[in-house]
Amino acid sequence: MLTEIIKVLFWLAVGVILYVYFGYPFFVILFSRFSSKQNAKKKEVTLPISVIIAAYNEEKMIDDKIKNTLSLDYPRDKIEIIIGSDGSTDRTNEIVKEYVNNSSNSTPPIKLVANKVNRGKSSIQNQAAKEAKGQIIVFTDANVMLRKESLSELIRHFADKRIGCVIGKVTYLNREETSVSEHEGFYWRYELFLRKKESEVGNLAMGSGPIMAIRRELFEPLDPRVGEDFVLPMKTVMKGYRVIYEPGAVSEETLFQNTPASMLKSKVRVISKDLRGLFLCRTILNPFRYPLYAWALISHKLLRWLVSYSVIALFILNLLLLGYPFYNLTLAVQIAFYTMALIGYILQGGGRFPRALEIPFFFCLVNLAALVGVARFVMGRTSGRWVPARF
């Protein structure tokens, strides 16, 4: 009897892993073929907007970022630019002040909102949002560049009164193409594809910090321990508005996370932060109130974060089933997979190695981050200061 229970638990763990990586994407793609949610009303509108740029020690990038924002294809008399400097200790504030002083009698106006100390990205965004006058707030980061048409592509969706938040497309330009950065880029392309399909189905409830727009009346001050890209879309849904993905609004960011340690640290911070955000917005997980969104968030985020625990349970349960030929084989497969991941870690060293090693290595790296991130949240640990990935 005990053996049968162990077998059931073993296959439940297998089922969770397969559902997260294959089952949920399959159903989303299938449902998107028959959904009418993608038919949102879009037309050219030029609503007043406030572009909020979060920055921390960006003296090397802030000048280019401001110039990039000024060059975007959107009427200048409909834009205000607010730079939120979160305790920068370099020349970021001085560079911004030069623009502020020179923009007093021109459009668009440029403002500087600065924290004296580094309090976190959400903190400086809250301060900047208090100064916003536009009907739409566009959030972006100092280290990303927007393509010329990005603002127009975002804002035209707000002609539809049902739309409360629009998410743009984040693309990564790898400074050094390594196995880590290559797979992060692959993972992100997979993530964007899934978000596109969720948007078509009508169950998208997550965003991208580098390029995201929201109606100003829907913005609520953020808890400093969470991120705008996860919490604001969820709160938008909870207020009865839709969140959609616009692939024509593109931001470009150089991917600096070229080492396993840097990626691990970043993902642990993001996962623990997003878990806290999901906990604060836990009402959205009620399947009777928000059936599609609850399904999406549980499948796309919560279960994915818990895959690492399923993987550990799978290995332990497999050990308890030794002696059965089939389960001897499944244990051998697991050991071979993790051995390949270990060899991949040893060989990666900034270079390339066979794809057969890259996939196990990256799978283990991502799930180790989830394991630690979930544990940090459960223990009440903070997600750490906001510092751009290249620092």
**Structure confidence by residue, pLDDT tens digits, 302-360:** 999 999 999 999 999 999 999 999 999 999 999 999 999 998 888 876 555 677 788 89
Right CATH for 49-258 from 3.40.50.920, 3.40.50.720, 3.40.50.300, 3.90.550.10: 3.90.550.10
**Distance (Å) of CA 123 to CA 118, 225, 232, 334, 363:** 9, 9, 14, 44, 33
**Structure confidence by residue, pLDDT tens digits, 207-249:** 888 899 999 999 999 998 888 899 999 999 999 999 999 999 9
Alpha carbons 121 and 296: distance in angstroms, whole number: 26
pLDDT the model gives residue 380: 81
Every domain of the chain and the residues it spans: 1-34+266-383, 49-258
Is residue 56 within 8 A of residue 118, CB to CB? The reply is yes
**Averaged pLDDT for residues 292-301:** 95
Alpha carbons 87 and 84: distance in angstroms, whole number: 9
**Averaged pLDDT for residues 141-155:** 94
Comparing C-alpha atoms, which of 143, 128, 175, 117 is closest to residue 63? 143
pLDDT the model gives residue 225: 86
Confidence of residue 391 (pLDDT cuts 50, 70, 90): very low
**pLDDT reading at 184 higher than 90:** no
**Structure confidence by residue, pLDDT tens digits, 245-293:** 999 999 988 766 567 787 888 889 889 999 999 999 999 999 999 999 9
Name the β-bridge partners of 115: 86
Which residues fall within 8 angstroms of residue 92, CB to CB, at 6 or more apart? 55, 56, 57, 58, 59, 62, 85, 142
pLDDT the model gives residue 255: 67
| Global confidence as pTM | 0.89
Question: What b/e string do you get for 307-328 counting C-beta neighbours within 10 Å, with b at 16 or more?
Answer: bbbbbeebeebbeebeeeeebe
- Percent of the chain clearing pLDDT 90 (strictly above): 66
Alpha carbons 266 and 273: distance in angstroms, whole number: 11
Residue 280 DSSP one-character state: H
